[in-house]
Amino acid sequence: MADNSSDEDQKRRQTPPPVEFVRPSEAQGPAPPRDQPPAAWVPRPEEFGQPPQQPFPQAWPQVAPRTGRPIIGGVLLILSGLLGMVSTYLIFIRPLAPSDVSAIQNMTAGDLTANALLVFAVVYAQAFAILGGIMAIQRKNWKLAVVCGVASLLNFGFFLIGTFLGLAGLIAIITARRDFIG
């Protein structure tokens, strides 16, 4: 038994062969014999098998050519949002007439709440219109672009021009469903 342990100790104490770097102009030396373990456990090229071959698809799925409708719809939604923002800004910087002040003072709590919700919806509709336009131009997330297009219908900018731009953008996005990624 003592003999077995000394043999194992000798095998463990053997130093691995040195690593040699070969210049491109020099020839590489012979490979070490197969019965000796390599200096480092690096697989040799011949130990690699051929990668499994993937069968080539017989027919690629037919993809409809991309159209420019998502970009047109996105630009229309962005214009709708910007037009709504400009009109909201112009409304808010204008001083209130005395008749408007008296009308606000005579409003009930329900009327003030309804007006606040309407302003809230109109302001957020502008942000949603711009978000939907960006999603449409990037051709990402068709569902979100459609929802934002529906929200853009609340843009009452300059004699309802914002609403009509949002409607045209929404129609362009709905008809371009296949052009979107997700």
Task: Tell me the DSSP string of 9-21.
Answer: HHHHHPPPPPP--
What confidence score (pLDDT) does residue 157 get? 79
Q: What is the pLDDT of residue 181?
A: 81
Instruction: Report which residue type is found at 48.
Output: F
CB 147 within 8 A of CB 166: no
84 vs 20, 59, 61, 73, CA distance in Å?
A: 73, 48, 42, 16
Inter-residue contact 135 to 46 (CB < 8 Å): no
The per-residue pLDDT for 5 is 63
The parent domain of residue 162 ranges over: 69-95+119-179
Q: Whats the size of the chain, residue-wise?
A: 182
Number of structural domains in the chain? 1
Evaluate whether residue 126 is within a structural domain. yes
Q: Does the residue 131 lie in any domain?
A: yes
In this predicted structure, what is the pLDDT of residue 34? 62
- 38 is a domain residue: no
Place of tokens 């919700």: 117
Positions of the chain with pLDDT lower than 50, given as ranges: none
Question: Of 119, 7, 14, 137, nearest to 76 (Cα)?
Answer: 137
What proportions of the chain, in percent to the nearest 5, are helix, strand and coil? 60, 0, 40
Assess if residue 44 is contained within a domain: no
Q: What are residue 106's phi and psi, to 5 degrees?
A: -90, 0
pLDDT score recorded for residue 66 = 82
DSSP state of 95: P
- Residue 128 lies inside a defined structural domain of this protein: yes
pTM of the model: 0.63
Among 86, 87, 79, smallest CA distance to 164 is for 79
Residue at 143 is within a domain:
yes
Tell me the pLDDT tens digit for each residue of 25-36. Answer: 777 777 666 666
Residues 162 and 72: their CA atoms lie apart, in Å, by: 15
pLDDT, residue 46, reads: 67
**172 occurs within a structural domain:** yes
